A and B are shown apart, each in its own frame.
Chain A
Amino acid sequence: MTSTVRELLLSAEWAERAPDLRDEGWMLLDLHGVDRIGLTSEADDRGRFEIVCHLVKRDDASRMIVHVGAEGDPPTVASVTHLWGTAGFAERETYDMYGIVFDGHADLTRILMPDDWEGHPLRKDYDVGKIVIDFKPQPFLQIEAPGQAPSFGESEVETDALGQMKQDGADE
């Protein structure tokens, strides 16, 4: 397999570089995000989020991976939908999963998660399992109050703060 060219860019550089790459015959195959908060290597000023673009040129069977840093709050990168149609779905997915905003995307809405979802699941600080999964209210499923589990009467087992059962005769 031929070696892959790797480029690190800032978001402003990506907006200038992308049209050149398209004119050189590079085809965008994939675009996705990475949350680099837990990575120690390559610590630079490109910020916490980056998008990774995979390009291929068929003439000489070469590949290129472009890392584009997404700076700012919310992290923002220039959209390339006007250059490659591929980016349409891919940028929507990246926005959905990481909250990276693509400047110039015509229809930047959630694609995989429901439209009213809060948060961006692939971020490393997204609390997996800590969020009560409360789907849209459905009358026949409402038991007592939203977000409350059905009660089974008073529990006779005493528990401590961590939910562990208290042992009889265990002296503290």
Chain B
Amino acid sequence: MSRTEPRVDEAIQRIEDEGQGAFVESYDPDDEVMTINMGPVHPATHGVLRLLLKLDGETVTDCKPIIGYLHTGMEKECEDQNWRGAVTIVTRMDYLAPFFNEHAYSRAVETLLGIEVPPRGMYIRMLMSELNRLTSHLVQFGTQGLDMGAMSAMFYGFREREMITDFFEMVTGLRMNHGYIIPGGVWEDLPDGWREQMDNILEVMPNRLNEYQELLSENPIFIERTRGVGTITAEECDSFGVTGPIARASGIDWDLRRDLPYEAYDELDFDVPIQEQGDVYARYQVRMAEMIQSVALLEQIVERMPEGDYKNMDPKLTPPPRSEMNRSMEAVIHHFKLVTQGYVVPEGEAYFAVESPRGELGAFVVSDGGTSPYRCHVRDPSFYNLQSLPIMARGGLVADLIACIASLDPIMGGVDR
């Protein structure tokens, strides 16, 4: 140790002289606490998260998340769009769970408009949401494995995700940032052949989930790295507004789909997986169990998919079909008004929250009676979950911090908006 110290001092001196404090922010050899900068560009921080770490040797004594590197002012951009166009902005916030952003926003606007969504529209929304929950958790599964050194988890996770994003592409035309769920329903009906594709997914997924169980869940190295690491209690979750799988892994029995049901979730039968330990492994187990529940939900949704309209057919809200416009002058007028101006939403405010893969994702919209949102705020779960990272990281090793970040699953697009 004594041999290396002068070299560290030299390095610090050089950094101070040359003004390159990018890596070591401060170093005091007497109390042996070193402040180190991690990120914003680091493979383990899942985007552009920057962490200021206080280290005592290899132990993290404090950790401060610094965010804002991906801030693009999306909430402000929404104010320049019409009500339909803002969907294309909010979908880009939490880019791994785009359907949930659209869903929360659309439901908030529907609350202001006071309109109903036809049953088929509701079921398509639930279908896409549960598939999206699978893709999001699969990315988390893959990156969690990758950060722990189990690279094959990434390949397996992305193989199944690919199958589902193919389905998204078939239905919405896009693999991410769909803009598919709109106020009033969904943009397009399910295409021909969707049932065969879904049956294929539902046939393959249960076996694949078992494979993951063998790959990571019973892997002694993975268990060693994750059990008892990054613990957070239920009280701390409550204090920091932590929701979703992280809260459920600490024993908080709360899921918006069951406790404040929206769409037709109250007609479906599913369990809410709970774990008590509150560590990284418990969060992993909750997500794995949620994927199994999502597959069970998908089977019921596909079975019960009703016929009929897939969006609210009010001509003031939905452009008329092309065939109608060739015959009816009124349809042409409606189309012109909707395309050039958009619809008007009555004055007021509404908040609606859905259960996203990361917790409560809520949209708060204010209307001044015009054709564009006066204010559109999205409560992104990652933003609040990230605040609990210092609690998880304190007292652990740097390698444990990597496991904590992976288990938090923060999406910086949603954090910074």
Q: Which residues of B contact A40 (CB under 8 A)?
A: 347, 368
Point out the residues of chain A lying under 8 angstroms from B377, CB to CB: 30, 32, 52
Indicate if B75 sits at the interface (CB-CB under 8 A).
yes
Q: How close is B386's CB to chain A, nearest CB, in angstroms?
A: 8
Within 8 A of A (CB), among B228-242: 236, 238-241
Contact with B along A24-60 (1 / 0, CB 8 A): 0001111010110011110000000000101000100
Convert A108-142 into 0s and 1s, putting 1 for each residue whose CB lies closer than 8 angstroms to a CB of B. Answer: 00111110000001100000100000000000000
Bound together, the chains give a CA A52 to CA B351 distance in angstroms of: 11
Cross-chain contact B351 with A121 (CB below 8 angstroms): no
Which among A27, A32, A35 is the interface contact of B241 at CB below 8 angstroms? A27
Q: Enumerate chain A residues within 8 angstroms of B262, measured Cβ to Cβ.
A: 1
Note all chain B residues with C-beta closer than 8 A to A112: 67-68, 71, 416-417
Interface residues of B in 347-384 (CB under 8 A from A): 347-348, 351, 360, 362, 364, 366, 368, 374-375, 377, 379, 383-384
Residues on B with beta carbons closer than 8 Å to the beta carbon of A27: 238, 241
B260 is an interface residue with CB less than 8 A from chain A: yes
Give the segment of A85-93, A146-154, A157-165 that binds chain B.
A85-93
| Shortest Cβ gap from A60 to chain B (Å) | 10
Check B347 against A29 for contact (C-beta < 8 Å): no
Residues of A within 8 Å of B360, CB to CB, are: 29
Residue ID in chain A nearest B379 by CB atoms: A30
Q: What residues of A have a CB within 8 angstroms of the CB of B236 in the complex?
A: 85
Q: How far is the CA of A58 from the CA of B417 in the complex (A)?
A: 28
B256 CB → nearest A CB, Å: 9
Evaluate contact between B75 and A88: CB separation under 8 angstroms: no
Determine if B351 and A54 form an interchain contact, defined as CB atoms under 8 angstroms apart: yes
Asked whether A15 is an interface residue with its Cβ less than 8 Å from the other chain, the reply is no
A61 interfacial by beta-carbon distance below 8 Å: yes
Residues in A with CB closer than 8 Å to B10 are none
- Say whether B43 faces chain A, with CB atoms less than 8 Å apart: no
Which residue of A2, A65, A110 is within 8 Å of B351 (Cβ)?
A: A65
Knowing A41-B347, A85-B241 are in contact, say whether A111-B68 is a contact too (CB < 8 A): yes
Contact present for B241 and A39 (CB under 8 Å):
no
Interface membership of B217, Cβ < 8 A: no
Report whether A89 and B368 are in contact in the complex, using a CB–CB cutoff of 8 Å: no
- When the two chains form the complex, which single residue of B80, B240, B368, B386 contacts A38, counting CB atoms closer than 8 Å? B368
- On whether A38 and B374 interact (CB within 8 A), knowing A30-B379, A54-B379, A85-B241, the answer reads yes
- The residue in chain A whose Cβ has the minimal distance to the Cβ of B254 is A58
Interfacial chain A residues near B384, Cβ < 8 Å:
29-30, 86, 89-90
With A34-B366, A54-B351, A54-B364 already in contact, the answer to whether A39 and B374 are too (CB < 8 A) is yes
A-B contact count (CB 8 A): 88
**A38 nearest CB neighbor, chain B only:** B368
A63 to B364, CA, bound (A): 14
* Cα separation A23 to B296 with both chains bound (whole Å): 39
Interface residue total, chain A, C-beta cutoff 8 A = 35
| Contact of B243 with A by CB under 8 A | yes
Tell me whether B76 is interfacial, beta carbon within 8 Å.
yes
Chain B residues in 8 Å Cβ range of A35: 375
* Residue on B nearest A34 in the bound complex, by CB: B375
User: Per-residue CB proximity of B252-265 to A under 8 Å, as 1/0?
Assistant: 10100001111000
Q: What 1/0 mask marks residues of chain A from 60 to 72 whose CB sits below 8 Å from any chain B CB?
A: 0101010000000
**B362 touching A29 by the CB < 8 A rule?**
yes
B275-334 at interface with A (beta carbon < 8 Å): none
Residues on the B chain within 8 Å of A54, using CB? 351, 362, 364, 379
Query: Which residue of chain B has its CB nearest to the CB of A56?
Result: B360
Min distance, Cβ A57 to any Cβ of chain B, angstroms: 11
Whether B193 is near chain A, meaning CB under 8 Å from some CB there, is no
Q: Which one of B236, B254, B360, B377 has the greatest number of beta carbons of chain A within 10 Å?
A: B377
Q: Is B191 an interface residue (CB 8 A)?
A: no
Minimum Cβ distance to chain B for residue A106 (Å): 12
Asked whether B239 lies within 8 Å of A122 as measured between CB atoms, the reply is no
With contacts A54-B364, A113-B68 taken as known, whether A85 is within 8 angstroms of B374 at the C-beta atoms is no
The answer on a CB contact under 8 Å between A29 and B260 is no
Write out the residue numbers on chain A whose beta carbons fall within 8 Å of the beta carbon of B197: none
CA distance A2 to B73 in the complex (A): 32
Give the docked Cα–Cα distance between A63 and B243 (Å).
Answer: 15
CB-based contact A1/B261 at 8 Å: yes
Known contacts A34-B366, A41-B347, A86-B239, A121 near B76 by CB under 8 Å: yes
Q: Which 6 A-B pairs have the closest CB atoms?
A: A86-B241, A30-B379, A112-B71, A85-B240, A112-B68, A85-B239
Apart from A30-B364, A54-B351, A54-B379, 17 more pairs, CB < 8 Å: A27-B241, A30-B384, A38-B374, A39-B368, A39-B374, A65-B351, A84-B241, A85-B240, A85-B387, A86-B241, A86-B384, A90-B384, A111-B68, A112-B67, A112-B416, A113-B68, A122-B76
| Interface residues of A, Cβ cutoff 8 Å to B | 1-2, 4, 27-30, 32, 34-35, 38-41, 52, 54, 58, 61, 63, 65, 84-86, 88-90, 97, 110-114, 121-122, 128
